[in-house]
Amino acid sequence: MPSVRNDRATVIQAGNVFLIGFSGSGKSTVCIQLAHLLKAAFFDTDALIEKRERRTITEIFADDGERRFRQLEFREVTNLLHGKRRRKVIALGGGALTNPVTRKVVLSNGIIVYLSCSVREIYRRMKGMTDRPLLNVTPRDGETLRDAHFRRIHRMLDRRQPQYRQADLVYSTTNKQPGQAARDIYRILKNRYGFC
């Protein structure tokens, strides 16, 4: 269990919930259903970036690189938090917390829920998707594309674990439907933090 941050009362009072986790963990779909249960507004930072930039995430990564994408992501998060005071459920990109400034803002403004998922399940959910830049990988000699994807997912998960471990709540979405995940998380938020 992550350590409790100093300003927990303020963070809990804000009532915001951030969903973090690897691509394919279910953040976007769980976000909508959890927001409905919490009577909150829901936002997906990837979708907001694509709308504002009029480009896909893949195109942004290809044209401008990950560093620029993380800057755009930070802008969307701060815009959302400076908006109306209504409670928000925000699905963040899989690597959002690798940016120190985004991580600081998120840690100070809401409860963080890490949607964990097995590598096998992540691969199953993502293998047919063409809009995920992190799966643009070339197999090594003698390696299948599937093995290259598994290697890439493992490596990126390992690299992001220190940030994911800062979550207030870890919930596994492996073999879970989004509705079940949202209901389970809602119950935990209600019982542990008094959300209603």
87: helix, coil or strand? Answer: coil
Q: What pLDDT does 11 receive?
A: 66
Q: What pLDDT does 64 receive?
A: 95
Tokens at 193, concatenated: 């933090």
Q: What pLDDT does 65 receive?
A: 92
For β-strands 17-20 and 111-116, DSSP reports them as: parallel
Task: Kindly list the domain boundaries of the chain, sorted by start residue.
Answer: 8-193
Regions of the chain where pLDDT drops below 70: 1-14, 85, 128-134
CATH of domain 8-193: 3.40.50.300
Q: What pLDDT does 136 receive?
A: 75
- Angle between the N-to-C axes of helices 119-126 and 145-164, in degrees from 0 to 180, rounded to the nearest 10: 120
92: helix, coil or strand? Answer: coil
C-alpha to C-alpha distance for 105 and 26, rounded to whole angstroms? 22
C-alpha to C-alpha distance for 42 and 32, rounded to whole angstroms? 6
Digit-coded pLDDT (tens) for 24-50: 999 999 999 999 999 999 999 999 999
Q: What pLDDT does 3 receive?
A: 39
- Whether the full predicted model's pTM is greater than 0.85, yes or no, is yes
Q: What pLDDT does 4 receive?
A: 42
Q: What pLDDT does 30 receive?
A: 97
